[in-house]
Amino acid sequence: MSDFMGGLSKPPEPPTRSEPSRGVRGRTRETRDGPRGPESVTGFGTGTQRGGGSVAVLRDGAKGFWGETLQLARAVGRTMGVTFKNLVARKPVTVMYPDVRRQYPDRFRGVLALTYDKETGEENCIGCRLCEYICPPQVIKVEMLKAKERNWAKHFTLELYSCEFCELCVQVCPTDAIVMLKTFELATSDRRELLLDKDRLHALGLEHEHSWATGTRLRDMQAPPKAARGEGHRDGATRGEAAVTAPAAAAKPAGTAALAGAGSAEESATPAPAAKADGPSTAEAVKTAAAPPAAPGEVKTKETAE
Amino acid sequence: MTLPPLAQAAIAAFIVLNAVILMVAYVTLLERKFAARMQSRIGPYYVGWPHGWLQPIADALKLMLKEDVVPAAADRWVYNLAPIAFLVPCVLIFATIPFAPGLGVADLNIGILFFLAVSALEIVGLFMGGWGSNNKYALISAMRAVNQIISYDLPFIFTALVPVVLAGSMQLSEIVSAQTGLFGWFVFRAWGLGVLALLAYLVATIAAENRVPFDILEAESELVAGFRVEYSGMKFALIQLGEYAHILGTSFLGALLFLGGWLGPGPAWLGPIWFLLKAIFVFLLITWVRWSFVRIRVDQILAISWKLLLPLSIVLLMAAAFAVAWSGGARV
Amino acid sequence: MTVETVGFWLVAAVLLASSLAVVLTKNLFHAVLYLAVALVATGVVFLLLESPFLFGVQLLLYAGGVVTIVVFAIMLTERLVGERITQTSRHVVNGAIVSAAVFVAVVGFLLQAGAPAPVTERPDQLAGLGRALVGPYAVTLELLGVLLVAALLGAIYFARADD
């Protein structure tokens, strides 16, 4: 009976491959363990079984009309049981958003912003255009302003309406100048308001909480573990100490100071390459703590040499 | 003061029509709240305190203010008339439903036949919309709808006829009065036949209303919104109103046929309230199914109808007839 | 002039207009819609003749069933893009002559039959109808059933897969 009904219930096959496919189906039926109809009476078995994997509720082995009907009834019962349990036993998990905000995760990828140096009040961007090159939707445009001590960004525009929030610009930034914020509220009545210039990006950075990720931290995270890198120089404890003292020694740890809060001391203390030029003591500290994150190639060569 | 019968009927129809529209509006709110809880959400909350009770009104206002777009290539007359042709049968089915003894527009002696006949007209409006939009999604949806209506009208009619056979009348008030007494409702009667008939009725109802899991004609993932994809504003609202009126109407019919209508403990004036509660119970059953299952394929829908539901409903109808015949007209 | 008379003339006008539109309109889909209107109007005529059961059956079978199947056929055969099938209505004159002849015959029959019997309040035609179907007309009913089964079998025969 199952075969008769099942044969009728199978979805109409494309006419071109009617003969060969029938043969294939017959063979697969034989190879499966246990006798079972090729398709179910109700048509439910067809789609779920074809992959060969067994589904928890509708599994192989239901025999005949009554077997399949029973299986169907049990499946329906279980499904509706789940929703009923939700209905009576579980509390809503809704966060009433505009009134209540949940804690956003540390790696939240929200609106982009530019940072200031906390101590000097200077902007961190050196106009190197790395972010412009890496940006997949090409929404960043930077123009460099050459100067004596360091370079600046003459213009920095970001078309946030086309941004895909991939965080690549943050990853490549050598001076941790561009970061992401823990906010996503972009709603505006005019699309042009999302074309952000330097001032607007700076203002945004002051306005909202920063996400954890900065260029330095991200590169640090992707580099080989520190134990491997630090081997042969010092043991773990002193290395940690040196790392903590590093920013104090550095006159201008250009990258990280603007970031508030998150991250362990060791990670946040890793200075940016801009700090290297400041003096021999800083350079030493950098060397002992970790390889400069801006040069992953250097780390690799050191490792392979050992 | 006595009014001529026509005027009386008109007044009754006016009252019932407005009550139906109001009920439909709040049934949507009920469904949204119910669905939200099933998904561990809260549902409409902000419009109206407490718990968003003004939401249906806000929705209606919003739809009224929307721009009414008519596609350039649409069949204008058909397109514009389709929502009305869809809505009228859906609201008309309430004409024959008695809400209490003697409380209703018309307690026809062919009550249930009228209900089935009028609700069969709904398909005309549906494919007017599907055709008139001149949109391939709408047209495919209309074709699927015709397919599905052909498949599921028969089981729907047969299962709805089981209580008719048991009660020996097509008049809805007679069917209710045949269900008096403790455990007298047709769900509990006829040695389990009633329960099976109710289940089959619910499945056929869900399919006839094109709701999940039988909603291939408005499958969002493939057909956007089915036959109403081109409609906006008030026309969309009319179609939506018609759809929910149909669901509510079949819920009321289910409560009448299987759950004893207005019968219940307490004084007689509680009758309409019992009836309403039972209808809402049936509606929530349908909603529960809707939010529990995924959409099934076309061939599965047809297979369920022709191989499971249609034989089952015919067998149930025949069994009910045999039961009545053997008992010689006594209660079964 | 009672309400029933006014209703009858209204329905008659609608019925006539929609029936003419069925054969005269070019658009095939519109013709089906006019057909639906005509069938519903026929049902309302039954209702005005105090025969609600026929009204229900008319709506259920014709307006609900037949129209659905006709639309199904059109949708399956109609090309969805490009030019549409138009109704050409050949042999209009011959058709008009035949229908005029039928009309004359019917009117003649009605005139000969004399005044109709006054409508009496019948309590419930349904039970009587049911008894008639399983009593005197039982054989006819069964024969109709056999006819339908034969039609179904024929349909299955034609629709079977080519093995």
DSSP A178-198: EEEBS------S-GGGGEE-H
Q: What is the pLDDT of residues A70-94, one digit of tens each?
A: 888 888 889 888 888 888 888 888 8
Check CB contact of B311 with chain A, cutoff 8 Å: no
In this predicted structure, the answer to whether residue A144 has a pLDDT above a threshold of 70 is yes
Sign, CA dihedral B218-B220-B225-B227, equals negative
Distance separating alpha carbons of residues A156 and A153, to the nearest angstrom: 6
Structure tokens that stand for A305 in this block: 């040499």
Give the range among A160-164, A183-187, C107-111, C127-131 with minimum mean pLDDT: C127-131
Residue A269 confidence (pLDDT): 43
Which of A3, A46, A58, A87 has the most B C-beta neighbours within 10 Å, making it the best mutation to test the interface with B? A87
Sign, CA dihedral C143-C148-C154-C156, equals negative
Q: What is the pLDDT of residues C30-69, one digit of tens each?
A: 888 888 899 989 988 888 877 788 888 888 888 877 888 8
Residue C149: pLDDT band (50, 70, 90) is: very high
Q: Which residue has the tokens 């095939």?
A: C28
pLDDT (mean) for B152-177: 85
Q: Is A60 helix (H, G, I), strand (E, B) or coil?
A: coil
Q: Which residue has the higher pLDDT, B239 or A121?
A: B239
Interface of A with B (CB under 8 A): 5, 8-12, 41-44, 46-47, 69, 76, 79-80, 82-84, 86-87, 90-94, 96
Q: Which residue has the higher pLDDT, B293 or A18?
A: B293
Q: Is A160 part of any domain?
A: yes
Buried b (16+ CB within 10 A) or exposed e, B89-112: bbbbbbbbbbbbeebbbebbbbbb
CB B143 within 8 A of CB B154: no
Distance separating alpha carbons of residues C163 and C147, to the nearest angstrom: 27
Last residue of a domain, one of A213, A242, A263: A213
pLDDT (mean) for A206-220: 85
Q: A182 with A228, same domain? A: no
Mean pLDDT of chain C: 81
Check CB contact of B154 with chain C, cutoff 8 Å: no
Buried b (16+ CB within 10 A) or exposed e, B190-201: beebbebbbbbb
Which of C71, C84, C131, C152 has the most B C-beta neighbours within 10 Å, making it the best mutation to test the interface with B? C71
pLDDT (mean) for A276-305: 43
Chain A residues lying within 8 Å of B151, measured CB to CB:
none
Check CB contact of B108 with chain C, cutoff 8 Å: yes
- Quote the minimal CA–CA distance from B220 to chain A in Å: 20
In this predicted structure, the answer to whether residue A33 has a pLDDT above a threshold of 60 is no
Q: Give the Å distances, CA to CA, from A185 to A188, A202, B71, B120.
A: 9, 17, 35, 49
Residue A205: pLDDT band (50, 70, 90) is: confident
In this predicted structure, the answer to whether residue A42 has a pLDDT above a threshold of 50 is no
Residue A249 confidence (pLDDT): 41
Give the range among A191-205, A263-277, C36-50 with minimum mean pLDDT: A263-277
Distance separating alpha carbons of residues C24 and C31, to the nearest angstrom: 8
Mean pLDDT of chain A: 66
Q: Is A100 part of any domain?
A: no
Nearest CA-CA partner of B255 in B271, B276, B269, B286: B276
Strands (E), chain B: none
Chain C residues lying within 8 Å of B141, measured CB to CB:
none
Nearest CA-CA partner of C46 in B100, B299, B113, B123: B113
For β-strands A112-114 and A178-180, DSSP reports them as: antiparallel
Q: Is A86–B300 a contact, with Cβ atoms under 8 angstroms apart?
A: no
Distance separating alpha carbons of residues A78 and A83, to the nearest angstrom: 9
Residue B329 confidence (pLDDT): 62
Phi, psi (5° rounding) for residue A178? -110, 130
Residue A27 confidence (pLDDT): 41
Q: Is A298 part of any domain?
A: yes
How many other C-beta atoms can be found within 10 angstroms of the C-beta atom of residue A161? 14
In this predicted structure, the answer to whether residue C110 has a pLDDT above a threshold of 80 is yes
Chain B residues lying within 8 Å of C63, measured CB to CB:
117, 120-121, 124
Q: Give the Å distances, CA to CA, from A14 to A5, A19, B144.
A: 20, 10, 19
Q: A170 with A238, same domain? A: no
Residue B1 confidence (pLDDT): 57
Give the range among B19-23, B121-125, C88-92 with minimum mean pLDDT: C88-92
- Quote the minimal CA–CA distance from B178 to chain A in Å: 31
Question: Own/partner pairs for C43-47, CB < 8 Å, 24+ apart?
Answer: C44/C7, C44/C11, C45/C8, C45/C11, C45/C12, C45/C15
CATH of C1-92, one of 3.40.50.12160, 3.40.640.10, 1.20.120.1200, 3.40.50.880: 1.20.120.1200
In this predicted structure, the answer to whether residue C16 has a pLDDT above a threshold of 50 is yes
Q: Is B149–C40 a contact, with Cβ atoms under 8 angstroms apart?
A: no
CB A171 within 8 A of CB A218: yes
Q: A37 with A53, same domain? A: yes
Q: Which residue has the higher pLDDT, A304 or B304?
A: B304
Q: What is the pLDDT of residues B70-108, one digit of tens each?
A: 888 888 888 888 899 899 988 888 888 888 777 777 777
Structure tokens that stand for C66 in this block: 């037949």
Q: Which residue has the tokens 């399949």?
A: A68
For chain B, what percentages of helix, strand and coil (3-state, to nearest 5) are there?
70, 0, 30
For β-strands A140-145 and A152-159, DSSP reports them as: antiparallel
Residue A186 confidence (pLDDT): 79
Q: Is B58 part of any domain?
A: no
Q: What is the pLDDT of residues B217-243, one digit of tens each?
A: 877 778 887 788 888 888 888 888 888
Give the range among A244-258, B287-301, C120-134 with minimum mean pLDDT: A244-258
* Sequence ranges of the domains in chain C: 1-92, 125-163
pLDDT (mean) for A217-236: 65
Q: Is A95 part of any domain?
A: no
Check CB contact of B299 with chain A, cutoff 8 Å: yes
pLDDT (mean) for B34-38: 87
Residue B332 confidence (pLDDT): 66
Q: Is A295 part of any domain?
A: yes
Q: Is A74 part of any domain?
A: yes
Q: Is A41–B36 a contact, with Cβ atoms under 8 angstroms apart?
A: no
pLDDT (mean) for A260-271: 42
Q: Which residue has the higher pLDDT, C123 or B133?
A: B133
**Domain membership of residue A235 as a residue range:** 218-305
In this predicted structure, the answer to whether residue A250 has a pLDDT above a threshold of 60 is no
Last residue of a domain, one of A160, A182, A213: A213
Q: A195 with A156, same domain? A: yes
Check CB contact of B188 with chain A, cutoff 8 Å: no
Give the range among A63-67, A296-300, B218-222, C124-128 with minimum mean pLDDT: A296-300
Residue C14 confidence (pLDDT): 92
Q: Is B3 part of any domain?
A: no
Check CB contact of C5 with chain B, cutoff 8 Å: no
Q: Is B181 part of any domain?
A: yes
Buried b (16+ CB within 10 A) or exposed e, C100-139: eeeeeeeeeeeeeeeeeeeeeeeeebbeeeeeeeeeeeee
**Domain membership of residue B291 as a residue range:** 68-327
Residue A247: pLDDT band (50, 70, 90) is: very low
Distance separating alpha carbons of residues A200 and A202, to the nearest angstrom: 5
Say how many domains are in chain B.
1
- Among the partner residues B37, B304, B308, nearest to A92 by beta-carbon distance: B37
CB B289 within 8 A of CB B213: yes
ipTM: 0.79
Structure tokens that stand for C4 in this block: 């029933």
Distance separating alpha carbons of residues A171 and A216, to the nearest angstrom: 8
Q: Which residue has the higher pLDDT, C74 or A39?
A: C74
In this predicted structure, the answer to whether residue B61 has a pLDDT above a threshold of 80 is yes
Residue C80: pLDDT band (50, 70, 90) is: low
DSSP-assigned beta bridge partners for residue B6: none
The C-alpha angle with vertex A240 and arms to A238 and A244, in degrees rounded to 5, equals 115
pLDDT (mean) for A13-18: 46
Q: Is A134 part of any domain?
A: yes
Residues 9-68 on C with a CB inside 8 Å of B are: 29-30, 33, 36, 40, 52-53, 55-60, 63-65, 67-68
pLDDT (mean) for B299-311: 84
In this predicted structure, the answer to whether residue C146 has a pLDDT above a threshold of 90 is yes
Residue B298 confidence (pLDDT): 81
Q: Looking at chain B, how many residues does it have? A: 332
Q: Is B14 part of any domain?
A: no
Say how many domains are in chain A.
3
Buried b (16+ CB within 10 A) or exposed e, C64-90: bbebbebbbebbeeeeeeeeeeeeeee
Residue B171: pLDDT band (50, 70, 90) is: confident
Structure tokens that stand for C135 in this block: 């009593």
Chain A residues lying within 8 Å of B299, measured CB to CB:
9-12, 43
Helix axes B233-258, B76-92, angle to 10 degrees: 30
Q: Is A43–B39 a contact, with Cβ atoms under 8 angstroms apart?
A: no
Nearest CA-CA partner of B166 in B155, B179, B157, B153: B179
Q: A239 with A298, same domain? A: yes
Chain C residues lying within 8 Å of B110, measured CB to CB:
52-53, 55-56, 126
Sign, CA dihedral A258-A263-A268-A273, equals negative
Q: Is B127–C71 a contact, with Cβ atoms under 8 angstroms apart?
A: yes
Phi, psi (5° rounding) for residue C98? -60, -45
Cβ-Cβ contacts under 8 Å between A and B: the total is 64
Residue of A nearest to B34 (CA): A87
CB A117 within 8 A of CB A257: yes
In this predicted structure, the answer to whether residue A31 has a pLDDT above a threshold of 60 is no
Which of B79, B108, B114, B152 has the most C C-beta neighbours within 10 Å, making it the best mutation to test the interface with C? B114
Nearest CA-CA partner of C66 in B77, B226, B146, B145: B146
In this predicted structure, the answer to whether residue A171 has a pLDDT above a threshold of 70 is yes
